[in-house]
Amino acid sequence: MAIIRKKGIFAGVKLPENKITEEEPVKRLPLPQKVIIPIQQNIGAPCQFIVKRGNEVKVGQKIAQSDKFVSAPIHSPVSGKVSKSTKLVNPATGALLDAITIDSDGQDQWVDLDSILKIEDIDSWEDALAEIDRIPPKKALEKIKEAGIVGLGGATFPTHVKLSPPPEKKIDTFILNGCECEPFITSDHRIMLEYGQHVLLGLQIIKKILNPSRLYVAIEDNKPDAIAHMNKLLEQMGLDEVDVVSLPSRYPMGAEKTLIKTILGRVVPMGGLPMDVGVVVNNVATSKAVAEAVLEGKPLIEKVVTVTGLFGEPQNLLARIGTPISALVSHCKLRERDQYHIILGGPMMGLPISDLQFPVNKGLNCVLIKEGYADDEQNCIKCARCIAACPMDLMPLKYPELVKNSAYSQCSEYYIANCIECGSCAFVCPAHIPIVGYIKTGKKKLAEK
């Protein structure tokens, strides 16, 4: 066990951090009166609802599922009654999403959980780790799948799929990602400080499944308290085989491919995945959810969300999935302004919305409200700043041009699949072109072919 310090080796951009909630402890948001549950909350196959209007449900009850492997079931975050079906606009694509509304009865009645132990009641880390060692990897994977866990850093790729590489893909390294490089967002930072034991127990479960020879916890150097805390916990828990890596605070350090290149010097091939170079990366919030699913039997029904920007009381909130954004905004006391815009996520990778009734979903880690309107898009001046800033060495200026002309197949010729959608290109663009939006559209159109 050691603290390893690495230097940055990719382009990207240096951003103002604006981590105004980094010292705000996580507070539980009061139960919402209703939740709105979108059917699509993961990359891969969408689920189908298995409840209908008038059904009574409990917290943790499965309400949607799919028979496809690359998918993740959805569970009720409240107890109450399914009151209606509705449609939501997907802020990423503009397409309509099916959703249901559940009216909470305020009782918070849970289904029976298949619990092995309660993490907060652990007296002996040695006993807890021995308990994990007794869990068959297949059973752990099944519990992760049934809990509906996806990548909680925003990618929403089903976690059980990521932890099931093909036999020919030997995984020798696992990286636990605590970088949180995007401005404003501090939810992962607080998770490491307040739920560090959960995170490291999740790491041990993932180790049991993948059996890698090297384990890292990656944290940017602008979080010295998290680096020290996680290192202290590793020592207390006797996890000598895990190293903490301190990384330069540069965007997008937290992207999987930049992490792997910086820590290991390995380059994920164009169109490839981390497993192609023997690596799996998971976010710290995902690891926390893994521990709660496998040890406590808890499905994914809540998330830590940073609520920041134009607020009187910006906070980190533990909110039930499906809670309308309006409840978070009201709780943190939005300041009165004539003009403001709402972003789900951070300023780089976030998506603008206009409807405050849009709900918290599995991929949401931040609600950011900024003053003024978003800048109007202008014509590209071919300055190539986006090319210089791209950490993946792509040509971002080509994607808006190709998408506008419906030349989606040509996007593949410019390796659009290798884009990590970090937003560095849009950040430096003097024409205020929402390049990432065009990239998302291009990827979606290609996937439909």
- What pTM does this model have? 0.92
Angle at 383 between CA 380 and CA 388, to 5 degrees: 120
pLDDT band at 1 (very low <50, low <70, confident <90, very high): low
Q: What are the tens digits of pLDDT across the range 300-334? A: 999 999 999 999 999 999 999 999 999 999 999 98
Query: 3-22+118-296 domain in CATH 3.40.50.11540?
Result: yes
What does the pLDDT read at residue 315?
A: 97
Q: For the ranges 262-266, 286-290, 399-403, 421-425, which has the lowest average pLDDT?
A: 421-425
Q: What are the tens digits of pLDDT across the range 77-116? A: 999 999 999 999 888 777 789 999 999 999 999 999 999 9
Of the candidates 201, 67, 207, which has an alpha carbon nearest to the alpha carbon of residue 137?
207
- Locate tokens 């380059």: which residue? 267
Query: What average pLDDT does the segment 238-265 reach?
Result: 93
Mean of pLDDT over the chain = 93
Residues in the chain, overall count: 449
Rounded to whole angstroms, the Cα distance separating 54 from 337 reads 40
What does the pLDDT read at residue 223?
A: 97
pLDDT band at 435 (very low <50, low <70, confident <90, very high): very high
Q: What are the tens digits of pLDDT across the range 351-372? A: 888 889 999 999 999 999 988 7
Give the residue extent of every domain in the chain.
3-22+118-296, 385-448
pLDDT at 67 over 90: yes
Using DSSP bridges, classify how beta strands 242-247 and 3-5 pair: parallel, antiparallel or unpaired.
parallel
- Locate tokens 């059996």: which residue? 211
Q: For the ranges 52-61, 84-93, 208-217, 224-233, which has the lowest average pLDDT?
A: 84-93
186-187-193-197 Cα dihedral, nearest 10 degrees: -150
pLDDT at 374 over 70: no
**Residue 13 near residue 251 (C-beta atoms within 8 A):** yes
Q: For the ranges 50-54, 115-119, 189-193, 437-441, which has the lowest average pLDDT?
A: 437-441
pLDDT band at 350 (very low <50, low <70, confident <90, very high): confident
Query: Residue 351 CA to chain centroid, in angstroms?
Result: 14
pLDDT band at 449 (very low <50, low <70, confident <90, very high): low
pLDDT above 90 covers what percent of the chain? 79
What does the pLDDT read at residue 153?
A: 87
What does the pLDDT read at residue 6?
A: 79
Q: How far is CA 161 from CA 72, 164, 171, 261, in A?
A: 10, 5, 14, 23
